[in-house]
Structure 1
Amino acid sequence: MATKTQHFDPSSTFITLFLVLLLHIHYAKSDLKLNYYSESCPRAEEIIKEQVNKLYHKHGNTAVSWIRNLFHDCMVKSCDASILLDKTKEQTSEKTSQRNFGMRNFKYIETIKEALENECPNIVSCADIVASFC
Structure 2
Amino acid sequence: MMTGKQRLEKEVTLELRNKYIGPSCKLFYRDDPLKILRASGTYMYDEKGHRYLDCINNVCHVGHCNPYVVSAAMQQMAVLNTNSRFLHDNLVLYAERLLTFFPKELCVCFFVNSGSEANDLALRMARTHTGKKDVITLDQLL
TM-score, scaled relative to structure 1: 0.24
Q: Choose between structure 1 and 2: higher helix proportion.
A: 1
Q: Which has the larger Rg? A: 2
Q: Choose between structure 1 and 2: higher strand proportion.
A: 2
TM-score, scaled relative to structure 2: 0.23
